[in-house]
Amino acid sequence: MSKSDAMETALLKLVFQAVSWSNVARTAGTPITSVQVSLHTADPTEAGTQASSEAAYGAYVRKAVARTATGWTVAAGVASPAANISFAEATSGTATITHFGIGTAASGAGELMYSGTVTPNIAVASGVTPILTTASTITES
């Protein structure tokens, strides 16, 4: 069974922009104001967490991106960063970044909500600053 285009877009706006979904869902209580973007050296899988295959080069930390229209662009069932996401410059170690994740925690296992591939992969070594561009997309299907 597939979702309608309208549902896909409404769901992505709820998750990435904290926009209430009329008559279905609304932000209640104190919702998170940012989602945490993580880098991974392998597919974290649908059963994984934010820590699954997460990058571990020197100075790596997840990046918080606001759940707003200035943080994420959402249209036609696709979400993407509104601006490039620059991670900390590597101070040691190496990694090949193949995937990125979107979750709720700044560190630790955290709930992984979405993940996607990084194409081309990012080869990280000391002095390299990994960047996810606005072409990095999450498609609701």
Domain boundaries defined on the chain: 5-139
User: What is the reported pLDDT for 44?
Assistant: 95
pLDDT bucket at 140, cuts 50 / 70 / 90: confident
Q: How many residues make up the chain in this entry?
A: 141
Conformation bin of residue 76: beta by default, left when phi > 0, alpha when psi is -120 to 50: left
Residue 24 CB contacts under 8 Å (≥ 6 apart), including other chains: 10
Stated pTM of the model: 0.89
Measured CA to CA, the distance from residue 118 to residue 99 in angstroms comes to: 5
The rounded mean pLDDT for the chain is 92
pLDDT bucket at 31, cuts 50 / 70 / 90: confident
Please state the rounded mean pLDDT for residues 31-58.
95
Q: Which residue has the tokens 């990694």?
A: 95
